[in-house]
Amino acid sequence: MQVQRLGWQALPDGSRAIFLLDLGSGSDWQQALAQLRRRNPASQLIALGLDSEFALMRDALRHGCDHCFPRQMSHPAIVAHILELQDSQQEDAYRVLIVDDSVTAHALIRRALAEQGVETRALTDPAQVLDALRDFQPDLLLLDMYMPGCNGVEVARIIRQHPEYLSTPIVYLSGETDLALQVEALRLGGDHFLTKPFNPVFLNAIVKSKIERYRALRRSMLHDSLTGLLNHTSSKSQLDMALEQCRQQQKPLCVAMLDIDHFKQVNDRYGHPVGDQIIRSLAWLLKKRVRHSDILGRYGGEEFLLALPGASLSQGFAVLELLRQDFAAIHHPYGDGYFQLSFSCGMAAFPAISSREDLIQAADDALYRAKRGGRNRVECA
Amino acid sequence: MQVQRLGWQALPDGSRAIFLLDLGSGSDWQQALAQLRRRNPASQLIALGLDSEFALMRDALRHGCDHCFPRQMSHPAIVAHILELQDSQQEDAYRVLIVDDSVTAHALIRRALAEQGVETRALTDPAQVLDALRDFQPDLLLLDMYMPGCNGVEVARIIRQHPEYLSTPIVYLSGETDLALQVEALRLGGDHFLTKPFNPVFLNAIVKSKIERYRALRRSMLHDSLTGLLNHTSSKSQLDMALEQCRQQQKPLCVAMLDIDHFKQVNDRYGHPVGDQIIRSLAWLLKKRVRHSDILGRYGGEEFLLALPGASLSQGFAVLELLRQDFAAIHHPYGDGYFQLSFSCGMAAFPAISSREDLIQAADDALYRAKRGGRNRVECA
């Protein structure tokens, strides 16, 4: 991510960027904003420093802003939001599972969704739906209402017996226009009801809006608001899943617990906003360095969990040693000068240690030894 | 909660209960189940011990089961689910905020929703929507599409700028049947589109199904799966909110951190399933005793957080002392005998300590002193 500071006149056109706009400064920002919007259709325009006042936000959105961040929003929260926006631009393709006994319907639906880059898988036999949910991990289910052996509502109810698919929206596609049936279908676990023959534009709009909504919801509930990393609870559940996978594939997995050294002194000496900034800068460093498949969470106040599936203890140690050196080299600005910090780290690995609880405990014990041994070091269990 | 063990023949009628049914045992359970369903329309019927096989689950649901728990589901997970079901039966009334410039529309909608026990508040001026969201905390928003000054989509976009309302579903009510507008409306933060004049039954079905879906989703993401209590992350965010409220109302707030004594020995000696059972039994004891407004979370493995808004340190101490004695008196069965356990507890209170971090830290320090002082005791900061 490159950051540039520009005046309104010097804003470039045509590139895909995130624009942070200070709308408080100019008088006729509405016109300037509308022009910027026209020239940069693929960019994200964010208004900063607005009072959270209805009319002002309405005007900013009306003239082309994608997001408004109110004046009282803290800088770390703003950065966390921007990181989230960037993440969501790099997201995986949307995946839709189609359950319909007609292969003609499959072809029509798949063609319509493929035009918007949505990945699809189609089933004719509803009895295979649980296996397909597990293997394909779809973002959304399109369910035909009438199939031999069972109807769509029954399929939806069976899926809703499984808590792990609670956040997978279900959209019915049916020739049925009976209102009572639609009511019953929505009551029993469905999210939307579309009638056949479907309009491809409308189908795509429903599918995309539902998926975006549920992905955003999951993001906000599973991530820490200060850093955008996984929160404590979702760090643990993601580690459970990765561990299960490594067990099946007979691969190692390496867990690191990191803790910023003398962090309390940072808060006491420079104040909490600077402390938050430090946490964010370490989060940012870690995020830039880990792979898509790694698990990175804020485990506590100044404590982070990093899990590297496929990495042995010695491979993990090499990664963390480098991160430790790089973090210790950062100059954190304060007033006219700067200060430097370090973190301590404890590591443990599967399969030498087999359960999630024991891995975290062993890494925590090693972290304690790193602290006692003088800090700014990585220790292995 | 009373628990009774009965044969299929002896099942009572007419009372509102949760039935746990072992469907593996009989041959013609379909008929027996259908009969039980007819006689107990207000009860919850749960099938246990089903193989997670599609046809079997379909038949169980078709003949009247509300839920199926697969054979491989652990006992603690089953109990956690039952606790959640019980909670959801005792839930607050659904709250709907109506934004429509027509007071005639208000009256029609409010009457329709009141028939189903839904609480409503209505606004004619969309500019007040943010205040109303904060004060009324609705489960769902019903938005008129055309109002003076701005349209429904603009209102929805403004609301979606605020992450705290991301899980509040928005349903449009409009005379508009233009498809392109509906697509745009759903794309920009809406969840459903209903056309006026509305059918009262359909309106209620949409409102209820959306609210149930989002409440279930929040529950699953914010709660610990073993105990049904708040998880680590949501314990902290709920404490933040309670603290803010106590600050405004100038009330005290008391925080307790509890940790089961010698828990590692329980796992080592009796096995993890027994350990889980112990955690669950303490969770259950705490849950029965705290008020609706208290915050109760599983903070870590065998560690719990309990916050009592409105209680001073001495009032909180009295509550926790009683809980400590009662937990220590429980006989936990194992084999032919039983064993007893205790917990240690550390407490701290607002306003003597003012931030959430410091409260938890102070309670944790006091917990450490309780452990060092011999365990099975409550210490105050």
- Please report, for the domain that includes residue B117, its CATH number: 3.40.50.2300
Q: A231 contacts in B (CB within 8 Å)?
A: 232-233
Domain with residue A332: its CATH number is 3.30.70.270
- Give contacts of B 12-71 with A, CB under 8 A: 52, 54-55, 57-58, 61-62, 67-70
Nearest to B359 by CA among B227, B263, B242, B262: B242
Query: Which of A23, A45, A46, A54 should be substituted to probe chain B, the one whose Cβ sees the most B Cβ atoms within 10 Å?
Result: A54
Residue among B52, B183, B232 whose CB faces A202 most closely: B183
* Closest approach of B319 to chain A, Cα-based (Å): 28
* Closest approach of B62 to chain A, Cα-based (Å): 8
Residue among B161, B183, B208 whose CB faces A201 most closely: B183
* Closest approach of B300 to chain A, Cα-based (Å): 9
Record the tokens describing residue B235, joined without a space.
């314990």
Pick the range with the lowest mean pLDDT from A55-59, A120-124, B136-140: A55-59
Residue appearing with tokens 């949760």 = B18
Q: Band of the pLDDT at B139, cuts 50, 70, 90? A: very high
Rounded to 10 deg, the angle between the B200-222 and B103-114 helix axes is 70
Asked if residue A208 and residue A139 are part of one domain, the reply reads yes
Q: Please check whether residue A181 lies inside any domain of the structure.
A: yes
Average pLDDT score over chain B: 88
**Interchain contact, B52 vs A232, CB within 8 Å:** no
* Closest approach of A201 to chain B, Cα-based (Å): 8
**Interchain contact, B54 vs A130, CB within 8 Å:** yes
Residue among A61, A161, A202 whose CB faces B158 most closely: A61
Q: Please check whether residue B299 lies inside any domain of the structure.
A: yes
Asked if residue B114 and residue B63 are part of one domain, the reply reads no
- Give contacts of A 321-350 with B, CB under 8 A: none
Q: Band of the pLDDT at A2, cuts 50, 70, 90? A: low
Closest chain A residue by Cα to residue B167: A217
Residue appearing with tokens 């056949």 = A196
Q: Please check whether residue A81 lies inside any domain of the structure.
A: no
User: In the predicted model, is pLDDT for residue A310 greater than 60?
Assistant: yes
- Give contacts of B 235-254 with A, CB under 8 A: none
Judging by DSSP bridges, how do beta strands A119-123 and B67-70 pair with one another?
A: unpaired
User: In the predicted model, is pLDDT for residue A253 greater than 80?
Assistant: yes
Q: Please check whether residue B227 lies inside any domain of the structure.
A: no
For range B229-256, the mean pLDDT = 93
Peptide bond connecting A197 to the previous residue in cis, omega within 30 degrees of 0:
yes
Closest chain B residue by Cα to residue A166: B217
Asked if residue A188 and residue A68 are part of one domain, the reply reads no
Cα–Cα distance measured from residue B140 to residue B215, given in angstroms and rounded to the nearest whole number? 11
Whether chain A has a CB inside 8 Å of the CB on B220: the answer is: yes
Cα–Cα distance measured from residue B222 to residue B232, given in angstroms and rounded to the nearest whole number? 9
Q: Please check whether residue B1 lies inside any domain of the structure.
A: no
For range B43-70, the mean pLDDT = 83
Asked if residue A151 and residue A36 are part of one domain, the reply reads no
Please give the residue range of the domain that contains residue B298. 232-380
Beta carbons of B256 and B306 less than 8 angstroms apart: yes
**Interchain contact, B126 vs A357, CB within 8 Å:** no
- The model's pLDDT over A353-365, given as tens digits with 9 standing for 90+, comes to 999 989 999 999 9
Asked if residue A141 and residue A109 are part of one domain, the reply reads yes
Residue A1 has what pLDDT? Answer: 52
**Interchain contact, B68 vs A233, CB within 8 Å:** no
Whether chain B has a CB inside 8 Å of the CB on A152: the answer is: no
Cα–Cα distance measured from residue B340 to residue B329, given in angstroms and rounded to the nearest whole number? 7
Cα–Cα distance measured from residue A373 to residue A314, given in angstroms and rounded to the nearest whole number? 20
Alpha-carbon separation of residue B272 from B109, B279, B283, B286, B344 (angstroms): 53, 11, 16, 21, 21
Beta carbons of B203 and B100 less than 8 angstroms apart: no
With b for 16 or more beta-carbon neighbours within 10 A and e for fewer, the B298-309 pattern comes to: bbebbbbbbbbb
Show the beta-strand stretches assigned E in chain B.
Answer: 18-22, 44-50, 67-70, 95-99, 119-123, 140-144, 146-147, 150-151, 170-174, 192-195, 253-260, 295-298, 303-309, 332-334, 337-339, 343-350, 378-380
Residue A26 has what pLDDT? Answer: 59
Residue A277 has what pLDDT? Answer: 86
Residue A178 has what pLDDT? Answer: 79
Whether chain B has a CB inside 8 Å of the CB on A352: the answer is: no
Residue B187 has what pLDDT? Answer: 81
Whether chain B has a CB inside 8 Å of the CB on A154: the answer is: yes
Record the tokens describing residue A248, joined without a space.
């099946």
Cα–Cα distance measured from residue B137 to residue B219, given in angstroms and rounded to the nearest whole number? 16
For range A101-109, the mean pLDDT = 94
**Interchain contact, A158 vs B61, CB within 8 Å:** yes
* Closest approach of B142 to chain A, Cα-based (Å): 17
Q: Please check whether residue A207 lies inside any domain of the structure.
A: yes
Residue B155 has what pLDDT? Answer: 92
Q: Band of the pLDDT at B94, cuts 50, 70, 90? A: very high
Closest chain B residue by Cα to residue A198: B179
**Cα dihedral sign for B259, B262, B266, B267?**
positive
Q: A216 contacts in B (CB within 8 Å)?
A: 166
Residue A81 has what pLDDT? Answer: 74
Asked if residue B189 and residue B238 are part of one domain, the reply reads no
Interface TM-score (ipTM) > 0.85: no
**Interchain contact, A54 vs B126, CB within 8 Å:** yes
Query: Which of B54, B125, B195, B299 should be substituted to probe chain A, the one whose Cβ sees the most A Cβ atoms within 10 Å?
Result: B54
Cα–Cα distance measured from residue A148 to residue B7, given in angstroms and rounded to the nearest whole number? 35
Counting the structural domains of chain A, the total is 3
* Closest approach of B245 to chain A, Cα-based (Å): 19
Q: Band of the pLDDT at A83, cuts 50, 70, 90? A: confident
Residue among A67, A150, A202 whose CB faces B179 most closely: A202
Nearest to A227 by CA among A332, A81, A85, A80: A80
Residue B211 has what pLDDT? Answer: 92
Cα–Cα distance measured from residue A98 to residue A203, given in angstroms and rounded to the nearest whole number? 13
**Of B194, B220, B246, which residue is a domain's last?**
B220
Q: B268 contacts in A (CB within 8 Å)?
A: none
Q: Please check whether residue B203 lies inside any domain of the structure.
A: yes
Residue B88 has what pLDDT? Answer: 63
* Closest approach of A111 to chain B, Cα-based (Å): 19
Q: B225 contacts in A (CB within 8 Å)?
A: 163
Record the tokens describing residue B247, joined without a space.
């600050």
Asked if residue B317 and residue B243 are part of one domain, the reply reads yes
With a pLDDT cut of 70, the percent of chain A lying above it is 92
Nearest to B321 by CA among B378, B362, B254, B364: B378
Asked if residue B359 and residue B237 are part of one domain, the reply reads yes
Residue A67 has what pLDDT? Answer: 87
**Interchain contact, B183 vs A205, CB within 8 Å:** yes
Residue B55 has what pLDDT? Answer: 83
Whether chain B has a CB inside 8 Å of the CB on A179: the answer is: yes
Q: A201 contacts in B (CB within 8 Å)?
A: 179, 183
With a pLDDT cut of 90, the percent of chain A lying above it is 47
**Interchain contact, B221 vs A221, CB within 8 Å:** yes
Asked if residue B278 and residue B334 are part of one domain, the reply reads yes
Q: Please check whether residue B363 lies inside any domain of the structure.
A: yes
Is residue B111 packed enough to be buried (19+ CB in 10 Å), middle (13-18) or exposed (0-12)?
A: exposed
- The model's pLDDT over B272-300, given as tens digits with 9 standing for 90+, comes to 888 888 998 999 899 888 888 899 999 98
Rounded to 10 deg, the angle between the B179-187 and B152-160 helix axes is 10
**Interchain contact, B221 vs A225, CB within 8 Å:** no
Q: A225 contacts in B (CB within 8 Å)?
A: 163
Closest chain B residue by Cα to residue A160: B67
**Of A220, A247, A277, which residue is a domain's last?**
A220
Beta carbons of B363 and B256 less than 8 angstroms apart: yes
**Of B164, B196, B220, which residue is a domain's last?**
B220
Residue among B161, B179, B216 whose CB faces A57 most closely: B161
Closest chain B residue by Cα to residue A187: B209
**Most confidently modeled of A4-13, A182-191, B304-313?**
B304-313
Pick the range with the lowest mean pLDDT from A41-55, A252-266, A306-320, B88-102: A41-55
For range B197-213, the mean pLDDT = 89
Record the tokens describing residue A172, joined without a space.
């019915």
Asked if residue A241 and residue A211 are part of one domain, the reply reads no
Q: Which three-class secondary structure string do you get for chain A? A: CCCCCCCHHHCCCCCCCEEEEECCCCCCHHHHHHHHHHHCCCCEEEEEEECCCHHHHHHHHHCCCCEEEECCCCHHHHHHHHHHHHHHHCCCCCEEEEECCCHHHHHHHHHHHHCCCCEEEEECCHHHHHHHHHHHCCCEEEEECEECCEEHHHHHHHHHCCHHHCCCCEEEEECCCCHHHHHHHHHCCCCEEEECCCCHHHHHHHHHHHHHHHHHHHHHHHECCCCCCECHHHHHHHHHHHHHHHHHHCCCEEEEEEEECCHHHHHHHHCHHHHHHHHHHHHHHHHHHCCCCCEEEECCCCEEEEEEECCCHHHHHHHHHHHHHHHHHCCEEECCEEECCCEEEEEEEECCCCCHHHHHHHHHHHHHHHHHCCCCCEEEC
For range B128-135, the mean pLDDT = 92
Asked if residue B149 and residue B29 are part of one domain, the reply reads no
- The model's pLDDT over B157-198, given as tens digits with 9 standing for 90+, comes to 899 888 788 889 999 988 877 778 888 888 887 888 888 888
Cα–Cα distance measured from residue A95 to residue A118, given in angstroms and rounded to the nearest whole number? 6
Q: Coil, strand, or helix at residue B261? A: coil
For range A92-112, the mean pLDDT = 94
Nearest to B241 by CA among B164, B180, B175: B164
For range A159-173, the mean pLDDT = 88
Residue B35 has what pLDDT? Answer: 86
Asked if residue B314 and residue B181 are part of one domain, the reply reads no
Beta carbons of B380 and B347 less than 8 angstroms apart: yes
* Closest approach of B216 to chain A, Cα-based (Å): 8
- The model's pLDDT over B339-369, given as tens digits with 9 standing for 90+, comes to 999 999 999 999 999 999 899 999 999 999 9
